[in-house]
Chain A
């Protein structure tokens, strides 16, 4: 039985934050919630967690309404990180575990295990404020899973992490998946989604514009992407337009990207190139990237939004 978000609606005053958002997540899967800032990701998550109540709609996990579920069902990593700065790491983790009803002995054992996994065992008796941002984020991740929740909800878990820590966190995600946990995370970094998620939902202005298994979402785009590089680059790319069925041609740094409808055989492009006598150095048939899918559905690039977000220091969290 899965996590079902069923047409939830939420208004903040005159602003409609969520307008009938629906999606479902299979147990034991990793689910990506994509959307620009202000699209409604955080609000959706808060409503699933029952720290906000929807005006309309319902959320169920394994058939039970989220309002009736114990709080230890969920593990939550909020987008805005925060811990008690002057509390010791170990003490702080045990405090949060205790709030979820975890015994002190279990909390100690689990804390040690996870600190070891993240290679920060030395920091257990240090104050949180003495730790780097990346390490604080790891502590916060541990705080959200010490009580062994069935569902993990992570709001932008990768933002602000360096590549090494991104890798550690991904490994932790896969570990949790192996333990049979269900993971939901939001992001606008598409690489992480491509790498981790089995299914996604793209949210835009309070509505789900597309959702489902990543494979199905990609297929539903109805096109294939062909990446082509030849040694005859000097001829330009104009001649490619003549090939029937080719919809869009983009010159990249060292290759050309062509869009071909799903019902056409991309092999015709290869044949056309060979007929010209050019030798092919790269020929690749791919599905459209999530980035492309996102841009096409949302109509703007997620990254631009994130930069905008960074530029504005104060922002209303009514998202």
Chain B
């Protein structure tokens, strides 16, 4: 059998150019990039249009014997939740923050709520037993965020009122509710990370899993489609006489993969541009940029490992997609043939979603070495827990060896499959035929 190159390159080049020049590719890529850029800018855009307006609450305090100001307590609850760094004692009606006011006239305030000028009216009374009672006029949805926050604030006000009546002073109460000293010591000192960074890592891990899954599903399908097209269009016989199955298979996977990566990079670039553009745009429309989630510290090695897992996983799946495509005679049957592969990548996808919530679990560790799952699970584990370099290298090596085995298997299936027409070819027939093909 002759060498892989330059023929694999010729096949890849043709595949890439045909794909990238296609109108469908250009349009889809442009639309996806636009959609992603829009999605990253969405919070800013929504804020600019006033959709994310801070809630306006009126409080009617009929229980006038309260020692602390309930208006301030509610303001604190709403502001703290909206912006952790904001000074709750700051001005009550700063732009972009919740405005809580004391209702002078309950009738007018209730009417304002009905007219939509106010979001809610909270009435505080004292009942027969001397307990504080709260009445909330506003959105009836139990999941309404403002209502949930105010419920929390009301509970706090009621408790401090009860403590007050039991003779426990405010300072004493504050001491009771002081959180204990709690320090988490990581087993691996190098693994120390603060919780802010963990949030970013978590989001990044999710993003990686989703992006890998989508790339495999979409671009793997391209490979299968294009093989089936060549077969049903009968170009295959010309190709197979001019080049070896391995050259064709490699070229196909590389070319389709490169086209897929082109689209992928366009989308990622749009997302990055969106994130970068977010701050200047939000400042220019005067809504005060809120810094996006802080990304965890990523060193070059880590990025390299992510890239390696993505590429190896992608090529592994694509190779098998190509083999699946070579088994059908008609393009309509492609979906059926790639079914098992879709199932496999779905299994990896869902396993990693479960695994993300418990990255230290034993089964997650084991699965992160299994070839078809490691492209999902290992990068996620690397972000969320401490993974030794040795483990990463072993997982990559297993993946690479599997890839070589898959290449051999796929070119065998391919060389037998591409010349078989008629009914869907069973794996058994294929295997028998492949033993005598070159």
Question: Which A residues fall within an 8 A CB radius of B?
Answer: 10, 12-13, 46, 49-55, 67, 70-71, 74, 76, 78, 80-87, 95-96, 98-101, 140, 143-144, 314-318
Most A CB within 10 A of own CB, among B6, B235, B236, B433: B235
Closest to B236 in A: A82
Q: Are A316 and B10 in contact (CB under 8 A)?
A: no
The verdict on A317 contacting B438 (CB below 8 Å), with A84-B18, A84-B235, A100-B242 known, is no
B233 near A50 (CB under 8 angstroms)? no
Interfacial chain B residues near A76, Cβ < 8 Å: 237-238, 241
B 412-438 binary contact with A (CB < 8 Å = 1; else 0): 000100011110000001001100111
B234 interface contact, C-beta 8 A? yes
Number of B residues contacting the other chain (C-beta, 8 Å)?
Answer: 31
Is A82 within 8 A of B437, CB to CB?
A: no
Contact B238 A51 (CB under 8 A): no
- Interface presence of B287 (CB below 8 A): no
Query: Chain B residues near A51 (CB, 8 Å)?
Result: 237, 240-241, 415, 419, 437-438
Q: Does B14 contact A (CB under 8 A)?
A: yes
Tell me if B7 is interfacial: C-beta within 8 Å of chain A: yes
The B218-246 residues at the A interface (CB cut-off 8 A) are 230, 233-244
Chain B nearest CB, measured from A23 CB (Å): 20
Whether the pair A99, B10 counts as a contact (CB closer than 8 A) is yes
Interface CB pairs A-B, < 8 A, 10 = A10-B436, A49-B241, A51-B237, A70-B2, A78-B237, A85-B233, A95-B10, A96-B238, A101-B6, A316-B422
Q: Is the CB of A52 within 8 A of B419?
A: yes
List the A side residues contacting B243 at CB < 8 Å: 71, 99
Q: Is the CB of B242 within 8 A of A71?
A: yes
Top 6 closest A-B pairs, CB basis?
A82-B234, A78-B237, A99-B242, A80-B234, A82-B235, A76-B241
Which B residues are CB-close (under 8 A) to A52?
Answer: 419, 436-438
Question: Is B14 within 8 A of A95, CB to CB?
Answer: yes
B residues sitting closer than 8 Å to A (CB atoms) are 2, 6-7, 10-11, 14, 18, 230, 233-244, 415, 419-422, 429, 432-433, 436-438
Alpha-carbon gap, A178 to B140, bound state (A): 93
Contact status of A317 and B242, CB under 8 A, knowing A82-B234, A83-B235, A84-B18: no
Residues of A close to B437: CB separation below 8 A: 51-53
Name the one of B6, B18, B241 contacting A71, with C-beta atoms under 8 angstroms. B241
**Set of chain A residues within 8 Å of B235, measured between Cβ atoms:** 82-84
Residues of A within 8 A of B432 (CB): 13
Q: Are B241 and A74 in contact (CB under 8 A)?
A: yes
Q: How far is the CA of A101 from the CA of B10 in the complex (A)?
A: 10
Bound together, the chains give a CA A85 to CA B419 distance in angstroms of 20
A3: min CB distance to chain B, Å: 16
A86 in complex: contacting residue of B7, B18, B236, B239, CB < 8 Å:
B18
Within the complex, the shortest CB–CB distance from B213 to chain A, in Å, comes to 30
B18 touches A87 (CB 8 A): yes
CA distance A51 to B421 in the complex (A): 15
Query: Which chain A residue lies CB-closest to B21?
Result: A86
| Docked complex Cα distance between A51 and B420 (Å) | 12
- Contact yes or no, A78 B438, CB < 8 A: no
Q: How far is the CA of A78 from the CA of B239 in the complex (A)?
A: 11
Give bound CA distance, A53 to B241, whole Å.
13
B9 vs chain A, min Cβ distance (A): 9
Asked if A144 contacts B438 (CB within 8 A), the reply is no
Residues from chain A with Cβ under 8 Å of B2 in the complex: 70-71
A96 touches B242 (CB 8 A): yes
The CA-CA distance from A76 to B18 in the complex, in Å, is 24
Known contacts A50-B438, A78-B238, A83-B235; A98/B18 CB under 8 A: no
Chain B residue at minimum C-beta to C-beta distance from A100: B242
Q: How far is the CA of A36 from the CA of B278 in the complex (A)?
A: 72
Q: Which residues of A contact B10 (CB under 8 A)?
A: 95, 98-99
User: Chain B nearest CB: distance from A10 CB in Å?
Assistant: 8
Which residue on chain B has the smallest CB distance to residue A155? Answer: B237
Task: Report the bound CA distance from A316 to B2 in whole Å.
Answer: 30
Query: Quick check: B420 and A317 within 8 Å, CB to CB?
Result: yes
How far is the CB of A180 from the nearest CB of chain B, in Å? 21
Q: A11: nearest residue on chain B (CB-CB)?
A: B436
Given A12-B433, A51-B438, A140-B238 contact (CB < 8 Å) = yes
Tell me which residues across on chain B come within 8 A of A83, comparing CB atoms: 233, 235, 238
**Cα-based distance from A76 to B432 in the complex (angstroms):** 26
Supply 12 further A-B pairs (C-beta < 8 A) apart from A52-B419, A100-B242: A13-B432, A51-B237, A52-B438, A53-B436, A71-B241, A85-B233, A96-B242, A101-B6, A144-B238, A316-B421, A316-B422, A317-B419
Contacts of B242 in A (CB 8 A): 71, 96, 99-100
Alpha-carbon distance between A67 and B244 when the two chains are bound, in angstroms: 12
Measured CA separation A65–B421 after assembly (Å): 28
Instruction: Name the distance in Å between B210's Cβ and chain A's nearest Cβ.
Output: 32
A239 shortest CB reach to chain B, Å? 56
Query: Which residues of chain B come closer than 8 Å to A316, judged between CB atoms?
Result: 421-422
Instruction: Select the residue from A71, A87, A101 with max chain B CB neighbours within 10 A.
Output: A71
* Cβ–Cβ < 8 Å partners of B419 in chain A: 46, 51-52, 317
Inter-chain contact B18/A13, CB cutoff 8 Å = no
Q: Let me know if B436 and A99 touch, CB within 8 A.
A: no
> Does B237 lie within 8 Å of A82, measured CB to CB?
yes
Write the chain B residue with the least CB distance to A43: B419
Give the CA-CA distance A96 to B10 in the complex, in Å: 9
Q: How many Å lie between the Cα of A144 and that of B241 in the bound state?
A: 10
Determine the distance from Cα of A51 to Cα of B241 in the docked complex, in whole angstroms: 6
In the assembled complex, how far is the CB of residue B14 from the closest CB belonging to chain A, in whole angstroms?
Answer: 5
In the complex, what distance in Å separates the CA atom of A101 from the CA atom of B422?
33
Contact (A78, B234) CB under 8 Å given A96-B242, A99-B7, A99-B243: yes
B14 touches A67 (CB 8 A): no
Write the chain B residue with the least CB distance to A144. B238
Q: How far is the CB of B308 from chain A (nearest CB, A)?
A: 30
Chain B hits for A314, CB < 8 A: 422
Q: How far is the CA of A143 from the CA of B10 in the complex (A)?
A: 15
What is the chain B residue whose CB lies nearest that of A54? B436
Question: How near does chain B come to A285, taking the closest CB pair, in angstroms?
Answer: 44
A314 to B232, CA, bound (A): 13
A317 touches B422 (CB 8 A): yes
Nearest chain A CB to B24 CB, angstrom units? 11
Please indicate the chain B residues that have their CB under 8 angstroms from the CB of A49 in the complex.
241
Min distance, Cβ A263 to any Cβ of chain B, angstroms: 48
Query: What is the bound-complex CA distance between A158 and B241, given in angstroms?
Result: 20
